[in-house]
Amino acid sequence: MTTSIIAFGGRPLTIKDVVEIANGKAQVALSDAPEFVEKVDAGVRFLNELLEQDGVIYGVTTGYGDSCTVSVPENLVNELPIHLTRFHGCGLGDTFDEQETRAILSTRLSSLAQGYSGVSWELLERLVVMLNENMLPLIPKEGSVGASGDLTPLSYIAGALIGERDVRFRDKVMNSAEAFELLGMPVHKLRPKEGLAIMNGTAVMT
C-alpha cells in the first residue's frame, strides 16, 4: 500500500525516496512548480528552434560517437532514436527484479526531470505511469554499464516506451504495447533526441 507521493522536478531526489519507490511504498508525480514547468518547456522549445534552423545537433542531426561527422537527413531525424534503441538492445543474462527496476526507473526519471535533456512532457509522464502502474521493463543485467552511459540496459526502457520490449505487468510478462493498450494508452513516439536522452545516463550503475 502506498503511503506517500514523491514529486519529481521540484527538489532533488534522495536515497530515501528511491528506496520508498523501489519498495512500492510511494507513488510518483511530476512537480507543478512554475520554475520546473518552465525548465522542461524551455528545453523542448530550444530543441525545436534548433531543428527549425537546421542546426547541427549531436545525436539528432548527426550520428553517434565516431559517426558524429555524419549528417542525418531531415526526413530520417525521427527514425534515428528508434534505431538507436534497437541497436543497443543486446543485453544478456537474468533480468533485474521488480525492486531494482523501480529504482532504475526512478533514478532515470529524476535525471530527465532536471529539464536539461529536451525531452517532452509526454515522455516524463509515461515514466510516471510505468512506475505508478508497476509496468516494469525486463532489463537484462549483462550489458554495457558505465560505457558512455548504461546504453544497453537503458535501451530496454526506451524500447518498452515505444512498444518493442517486454514488461512485467499485472503479474504477467507481455509486450509493452499490449500493456499500454490495457491502460487505454498508445505507445510513446520518441521525439528527436529522446532515445539518446533516455539511454545516455547512469541510472543502472547508480
Report in angstroms the alpha-carbon separations of 200 from 49, 152, 156: 22, 10, 12
Instruction: Exactly one of 58, 64, 116, 156 is catalytic; name it.
Output: 58
Three-class secondary structure of residue 106 per DSSP: helix
Indicate the length of the chain as a whole number: 206
C-alpha cell at 184: 487505454
172 CB-side CA count, 13 A: 7
7 vs 31: CA distance, rounded Å: 5
Q: Please say if 58 is a catalytic residue.
A: yes
Q: What are phi and psi of 163, to 5 degrees?
A: 85, 20
Residue 71 bridge partners (DSSP)? 62
- Which residue in the block uniquely carries the three cell numbers 513516439? 189
Catalogue the active-site residues: 58
